[in-house]
Amino acid sequence: MIFLSDFLNAEVVDVRQHRVGRVRDLVVVMTEPFPRVTGVILKGNRKVRSLDWSVVRSWDNKELSLKVDAGSLQPHSRADTELWLARQILDKQIVDMDGRRVVRVNDLQLSQVEGSMLVIGVDIGSRGLARRVGIEGLGRRVTAALGLDWPQKLISWEAVDPVKTDVSSVKLRIAHTKLAKLHPADIADIVNELSPDDRSAVFAALDDEKAADTLEEIDEPQMQASILERLDVERASDILEAMAPDEVADLLADMPRERAQQLLQKMEEDEAGDVEELLAYREDTAGGLMTTEYVAVLHTLTAAEAIERLRELEPDAESVYYVYVTDEEEHLLGVLSLRDLIVAKPETKIRDFMIKNVISVRLDAGPREVAEVTSKYNLLAVPVVDEHNRIHGIVTVDDVMERVMPARAGGRRRRIF
């Protein structure tokens, strides 16, 4: 990784190895999405005070070599939107959108992309501090000797917004409380870009429902698990209770067994029971894919009674595609759409107008089979039954598609860090 601090104070030598000066600062122009380095400000040279980045040939270990000789150096071309990194960004206060102080800019991460040097991230961690005072190597050896991990703490440049009028502070584009008003999918996108600490801070600011929805939107099970692990058990189990049982089961499957067990115990009994049932199925079967949130009504009810029952259940939008009809032992007898229920005469028994020939899959069916069934019959969800035709859950079309087509077109932007 390249950092601004690697350049600051570096010796600058020209093509004939003559000393030109030292680096005082790097100049960037504000290009989107990442600022591009355009010039170098020098110190220790009375004649040449700056040079264009285009004449830099290479750099390593505190030395910057130029392509040209010192005599032909021109000052860098100035631009209105230019920013001096060391003077205007480094060490400045970072505040979030609520004006809460977060930390200072300890260092800036640069990256060479197609011949340009771009500022891609802001270092906010202790490693950045150590690097600036020249003891990062020492710290790394010490932490390694102690068997500890010493992670870089970086946030993407996209998440910050240097306020030009007041160069003393750098604003984070994300505010914890304003976040709560966004759609969970958008929050998930932002959370993807944050450091683990920031992620848990964001989750701490959301209510249980929102947190649950956001967690469901995050694609990577490891990330979901790591977010939950950083929350305290009470709070984590509250969020889990608000999530769909199948999502919870997937998530817990990716966690250390002990922690998962702990979370299950803290959850309400009903919810925990559903999840445990799901956890028992292999992940690559319909049983592992399904959710236990579905709507089933007894075949003896009338249309009016069935609608009344739906009102009592208040099902989530996702699970109300179909209303399944069962007997007292949960044998799957038929299926109804909401439309069927509403247009039927209120006093008609539902077994008289339900579709008896229900398409279903077995618990041990593979994802591909489930996908084929749903697409062949154009279903939004397919019920999952055991060998006695008892219903255990449903697999929704998005859950199965996610499984068989992991690389969705237009998927999430890759994270840098």
Partner 1 sequence: MLLAVVGPGIITGNVDNDATGITGYALAGSQFGYELLWLLIVTAICLVAIQSMVARMGTVTGKGLSDLIRERFGIAPTLWVMIFLFFANAATTVAEFAGVGGAAQLLFGNIARYAAIPVAALLVWFLVLRGSFRVVERVLLLLTLVYLGYIVSAFLAHPKWSDVIHHTVVPTFHLTPPFILIFITIIGTTITPWMAFFQQSNVADKGLHPDDLKYERVDTVAGILMLNVVAFFIIVATGATIYAAHVTVNPSDPSAFSKIALALKPLAGQYAEQLFAIGLLNASLMAASVLPLSTTYAITEAFGLERGIDKSFREAPAFLTIYTATIVIGAGIAMFPGAPLVLITNLPNIINGMLLPLLLPLLILLANDKRIMGRYANSPLFNVFSGVVMVFLTAVTLAFLASIFFPGLFGGR
Chain positions 197 to 216 lying near partner 1, rule: CB under 8 A, are: 204
CB 103, min distance to partner 1, A: 5
Q: Which amino acid is at 294?
A: Y
Binding residues for partner 1, total number by CB under 8 A: 17
Structure tokens at 269: 């009994």
Q: Nearest CA to 240 among 261, 219, 258?
A: 261
User: Per CB under 8 A, does 93 bind partner 1?
Assistant: yes
Q: Which stretch binds partner 1 (CB under 8 A): 95-103, 190-198, 218-226, 351-359?
A: 95-103
CA–CA distance, 179 with 184 (Å, rounded to integer):
9
Q: Which stretch binds partner 1 (CB under 8 A): 43-51, 75-83, 92-100, 347-355?
A: 92-100
Q: Which amino acid is at 192?
A: N
User: Per CB under 8 A, does 100 bind partner 1?
Assistant: yes
Binds partner 1 by CB under 8 A, chosen from 97, 103, 253, 416: 103
- Answer for the pair 198, 175: CB distance below 8 angstroms, yes or no: no
Nearer to partner 1, 131 or 299 (CB): 131
CB 90, min distance to partner 1, A: 7
φ, ψ for residue 58, nearest 5 deg: -160, 170
C-alpha distances in Å from residue 93, one per residue of 90, 198, 199, 369: 9, 16, 20, 55
Nearer to partner 1, 160 or 381 (CB): 160
Chain positions 112 to 131 lying near partner 1, rule: CB under 8 A, are: 129
Nearer to partner 1, 14 or 198 (CB): 198
- Answer for the pair 108, 2: CB distance below 8 angstroms, yes or no: no
User: Per CB under 8 A, does 397 bind partner 1?
Assistant: no
User: Per CB under 8 A, does 22 bind partner 1?
Assistant: no
Binds partner 1 by CB under 8 A, chosen from 48, 102, 233, 253: 102
Nearer to partner 1, 172 or 252 (CB): 172
Q: Which DSSP helix (H) or strand (E) runs through 289?
A: helix 286-289
CA–CA distance, 271 with 293 (Å, rounded to integer):
10
Chain positions 133 to 152 lying near partner 1, rule: CB under 8 A, are: 133
- Answer for the pair 346, 318: CB distance below 8 angstroms, yes or no: no
Over its C-alpha atoms, the chain yields an Rg (Å, rounded) of 29
CA–CA distance, 377 with 64 (Å, rounded to integer):
65
Mode of pairing for the β-strands spanning 160-162 and 2-3: unpaired
CA–CA distance, 415 with 412 (Å, rounded to integer):
9
User: Per CB under 8 A, does 90 bind partner 1?
Assistant: yes
Binds partner 1 by CB under 8 A, chosen from 17, 58, 168, 378: 168
User: Per CB under 8 A, does 132 bind partner 1?
Assistant: yes
User: Per CB under 8 A, does 94 bind partner 1?
Assistant: yes
Interface with partner 1 by CB under 8 A: which residues? 86, 90-94, 100-104, 106, 129, 132-133, 168, 204
